[in-house]
Structure 1
Amino acid sequence: MPRVSARRLIPQEPGSWIQRLGVKLRDTTTESPARFAVVIFVSLIALFTVLFSLPAASADGQQTSLADALFTAVSTICVTGLATVDMDSHWSPFGNALVFIGVQVGALGVLTLASILGLVISKRLGLRAKLIAAGDSNPLRVHGGPVNEGQTVRLGEVGSLLLTVAVSTLIIEVSLAVILYPLLVIAGVDPLIALWEAPYYGAMAFTNTGFTPNAGGLAPFADDHAILFVLMLGVFLGSIGFPVIFTLAKQRWHYRQWSLHAKLTLITTVILFFAGAAMFLILEYDNPATFGSMDAGNTTFQAFFMSAMTRSGGFSVVDQADLHGSSLLVASMLMFVGGGSASTAGGIKVTTLAVLALAVFSEAKGRPSVQAFGRRIPSDVQRVALSVVAWGATIVAASTIILTQITKAPVEHVLFDVISGFATVGLSTGIAENLPDAGVYVLAATMFMGRVGTVTLAAAVAASSKTQLYSLPVERPIVG
């Protein structure tokens, strides 16, 4: 029997400090999908900041300042749509191409995109890749608690989900571009220019970003209901989330077979859409700067358009600074909620709101558990929902206080822009365009935390969960 040297049985430590740093970095980024997501997002933002800083990226051939380049990179990767420069005139064709590519990467989600590339290259997904992809489609996985697979996407379905993500994104964006092209030409856009603007608008609608490629934004199409309706449709499809698209593609119109997540997402989305439109119609119908000069039909349509865009779309026909204070508050509430989980939309997500509303309803009814559509929602889901709202409100409050102190602007305008950044909406009252560098960095950090997600961010900071093998005595504090 051949002798085995004992030296071989002892694992060798990396020799150089570079190797040790590489191992440490690898362990840090791969021990949890949440931390991996944060690291990848930061790396992409850093890369695009450098690219946007290049003289070739600006139309005048001058180097863009660090603050503007960083803000544009964050807004692009986080699919926010806010800008500190004129997106139409500042960037060169190369810069616009960077915006388009960055939005696509950020919208799909870095984890999902990485899993898709792995699936294409290896023709299969390993267990680790499936866990990472499932973590991106289900925020509860990074929380460390038990997951009811029946309510989300099963581990064995991740490959199908990724295929749905890739195919649905391609089909929807191409379809939107094909529909928009003749509408833009009819609206007076040059046919050659429309070849670029149609796919650009289609991508910005589905990714819920809201950047516009032309001067004046949507102002030239303010009365073109066909174009605005297509943009609303794209925003809706992007905001419901890929797990819902996956469920609809699999179950189609068999409502009883839909997952609870899909039911809560679609029902809450529709309720907020109509409720928001009704509120804007009531509050702005007599405002001459917004809806007051329109007829009844156009006013109603614009109210629905504004309701859809404040959820995360980011497109705007009217100047947000002209809205009444009450309308700004309603818009801020809608933006804070945002769209569906694992979608291109931001905010705390509609399912978070739905779970909290169901919890309040169950408590009022005296039910021992939270129930919906014949299913029981476990307590860990309710705790995550509360955590998301608490962290989101904390981030918004801190950013609003800091930016109000920096800008001395009206607090309702600052709050609107902060929530717009946190929820990656992209609407602005004009605060974002005139921020000093210090304010630019604060709002960029707010956008980053909003896009990465409050639960993911918290899990990335404390990735390792500890198991407690004992239970403390119970004592009930007075609440309320």
Structure 2
Amino acid sequence: MVRAAAQTGRRVVRRAPGILNRFQHPAQVIVVGFATVVLLGTGLLASPIATESGQAAGLLTALFTSTSAVCVTGLVVVDTGTHWSAFGEWVIAGLIQVGGLGIMTLATLFTILVAGRLGLRARIFAQAETKTLSMADVRHVVRKVVVFSLVCEAAAAVVLTGRFLLGHGEPFGRAVYLGVFHAVSAFNNAGFALWPDNLMRFVADPWICLTIAAAVIVGGLGFPVVFELLRAWRRPGRWSVLTRVTVGVTLILLVGGTLVFLATEWDNPRTLGALDDQAKVLAAFFTAVMPRTAGFNSLDLAGMYPTSWLATDLLMFIGGGSAGTAGGIKVTTFGLLAFVIWAELRGEREVIVGHRSLPQSTQRQAISISLISVALVAVSTYALLALTPHSLDQVLFEAVSAFGTVGLSTGVTADIAPAGQVLLVLLMFIGRTGPLTLGSALALKDRTRRFQLPEERVIVG
């Protein structure tokens, strides 16, 4: 090899094997980063000082809670406000913040602050996490993401603190604590609450419900969409396809979900039936927002009709916007698939969205994400049915909620067998990192086919 190198005039450099060389693909680093934070959070929550009783929590309980927080889900097997101490609750809030911003976003920020420069590999990693469209603006985007997140959380915390202080008689210190915790949980679409009934006690309080709903919507739109709306909110004609699809589908789902819950639960004495008309509209809107994927609830989900569970399943599966804190297959994926179907029904060769042609690679990615997600939910639901005595609609609700990183539950999460809870942990992790991200992280290298085979048409349908 030395002789061959000397003859060609090239210098041969051997890289020492190590952890950094094992994970060359950005998706691999993202998955490993999230897994590392989950394990770190598990260790902190498993310590005796993390619980109110002073006794160490079980390993599965700590792992489940840590995964739910890092993956900004909100599913719990113990009551957050009574089981965990103040230290444990701050650990959960910190894990939510890290999971919401993204491991690579924080790592890129630290690189900028310490080194004052951003290397090519760090730019690639940050681009994969923030889903920016240009590597040149990664540094600027990361700064904007962090600052914007903190500003939104601070604004929500101020409103919530004032309401808890003035409207519900909480002491100042407690009001600040509740305001900050729930602002972080809401903006990052986590759904963790510090009351046993989540937010049911505030079902008719517009200050609490609308503030949390607004934080959930803004955090779930996705940072690229939010930044573009801030720049050109008066000029919708100049919006990108991403922003048009995200905003359009989001409005349709919010309005449609609100109307569905109003029509379905209007006379249900366990949900909307006991409220006045104004509170019914507020509660229905709040319930339509949360499957985006926040996980807060102001109504008793266990008391809902099965038809409302099915509607919630669909909303949870779709989720929120890309490059945001929401989960699911994303509203952009759902919207693009609708355009693909419309083009196929019209017999058009190209898929047109907003006077732009949709690349075939994007179409394949949307189809792949959707089918992989359906398969994961179906297999997980089957496994949970075999492991638990609960009904199909309850088990399906839990599986979709975990995969969509939502956190809504019909109240059976704590009753699921340990094997089923481990399965939910895996679903939450996969739902946060993304099916295609996880698949590419496990791939050793990209494969390029250097030949093209003859086509053959196959009968479909």
Cα distance in 2, alignment partners of residues 248 and 318 from structure 1: 32
Alignment of 1:457-476 (within 5 A): 457-476=438-457
Identity of aligned residues (%): 37
Post-superposition CA distance 1:16-40 (Å, at most 9, x none): xxxx4xx1x32222x1010111111
**Are 1:157 and 2:157 an aligned pair?**
no
1:181 counterpart (161, 164, 188) = 161
Q: What's the secondary structure of 2:352's corresponding residue?
A: strand
Q: Counterpart amino acid of 1:285?
A: W
**Could you tell me how far 1:12 is from its partner in structure 2?**
6.7
Per-residue CA deviations over 1:301-355 (Å, capped at 9, x if unaligned) read: 2111100012212110112111111110000000000000111100000000011
Task: Tell me the alpha carbon deviations over residues 202-254 of structure 1, each in whole angstroms, 9 at most, x when there is no partner.
Answer: 11110011111234321221221121010110000110011112222333433
Residue 3 (structure 1) aligns with: none
What does residue range 223-302 of structure 1 map to in structure 2 within 5 Å?
A: 223-302=204-283
One-letter amino acid matched to 2:358: I
Structure 1 residue 10: Cα displacement:
7.0
Count of residue pairs brought into register by the alignment: 451
The answer on whether the counterparts of 2:283 and 2:299 sit within 8 Å (CA) in structure 1 is: no
C-alpha distance in structure 1 between counterparts of 2:66 and 2:148, whole Å: 25
Deviation per CA, 1:166-211: give whole Å up to 9, x if none: 1100100001111111111212322221010011111111001111
Structure-2 separation of matches of 1:259 and 1:450: 26
In the TM superposition, residue 79 of structure 1 has moved relative to its aligned partner by 0.6
1:69-106 deviation digits (Å, cap 9, x = unpaired): 11011001101001111111111111111001100000
Q: Is 1:43 paired with 2:23?
A: no
The residue number in structure 2 matching 1:110 is 103
Q: Which residue of 2 aligns with 1:438?
A: 419
* CA distance in 2: counterparts of 1:272 and 1:61, whole angstroms: 44
Find the counterpart in structure 1 of residue 3 from structure 2. none
**What does residue 383 of structure 1 align with?**
364
CA contact (8 A) 2:77 2:413 kept: yes
* Pair 1:284–1:74, CA change in 2 (3 A): same
The answer (yes or no) to whether the contact 1:35–1:463 under 8 Å persists in 2 is no
Matched residues in 2 for 1:255 and 1:10: separation? 54
What is the rounded CA distance, in whole Å, between the counterparts of 1:11 and 1:154 in structure 2?
31
Give the superposition deviation at 1:13.
7.7
Partners of 1:181 and 1:125 lie apart in 2 by 38
Aligned counterparts of 1:397 and 1:12: Cα–Cα separation in 2? 46
Name the SS for the 2:80 alignment partner.
coil
Q: 1:377 to 1:55 in 2, by over 3 A?
A: same
Whole-Å separation in 2 of the counterparts to 1:306 and 1:242: 23
Q: Deviations over 1:378-426 (max 9, x none)?
A: 0100100011011111111111111111112001001001111111111
CA contact (8 A) 1:187 1:221 kept: no
After superposition, where does 1:60-99 map in structure 2 within 5 Å?
A: 60-99=53-92
Q: Distance in 2 between matches of 1:321 and 1:219?
A: 12
Q: Which runs of 5+ in 1 are unaligned?
A: 1-5, 15-19, 139-151
The change in CA–CA distance for 1:335 and 1:13 in structure 2 (over 3 A counts) is closer
2:51 is matched with 58
| 8 Å contact kept, 1:34–1:463 | no
CA drift at 1:127: 2.2
Runs of 5+ consecutive residues of structure 2 not aligned to the other structure = 1-5
Distance 1:329 1:248 in 2: 32
1:246-282: CA deviations, max 9, x gaps?
2223334332332211111111111110011111111
SS in 2 for 1:313: coil
Q: Distance in 2 between matches of 1:245 and 1:90?
A: 36
| Partner SS for 1:445 | helix
CA distance in 2, matches of 1:28, 1:391: 26
Code of the aligned partner of 1:26: L
CA distance in 1, matches of 2:221, 2:88: 29
> Given the alignment, which residue of 366, 372, 379 partners 1:398?
379
User: Do the aligned partners of 1:241 and 1:343 also contact (CA within 8 Å) in 2?
Assistant: yes
Report the equivalent of 1:478.
459
Within 5 A, what are the aligned runs for 1:353-368?
353-368=334-349
- Whole-angstrom distance in 1 between the partners of 2:143 and 2:391: 46
2:149 is matched with which residue: 169, 175, 199? 169
Task: Measure, in 1, the Cα distance between the counterparts of 2:286 and 2:216.
Answer: 10
Contact 2:67 2:428 in 1 (8 A): yes
The 3 A distance-change label for structure 1 pair 380 and 298 is same
TM-score normalized with structure 1 length: 0.91
| CA apart distance, 1:463 | 4.6
Amino acid aligned to 2:61: D
- Deviation track 1:115-172 (CA, whole Å, cap 9, x = no partner) reads 121122222322222221111123xxxxxxxxxxxxx622222222111101100100
Q: CA RMSD in A?
A: 1.5
TM-score, normalised by the number of residues in structure 2: 0.95
Q: How far apart in 1 are the matches of 2:51 and 2:325?
A: 27
Q: After the TM superposition, which segments of 4 or more aligned residues of structure 1 sit over 3 Å from their partners?
A: 9-14, 249-252
Question: Alpha-carbon deviation of 1:43?
Answer: 1.2
Contact 1:161–1:246 (8 Å) recurs in 2: no
CA contact (8 A) 1:421 1:443 kept: yes
**Does the 8 A contact of 2:109 with 2:143 survive in 1?**
yes
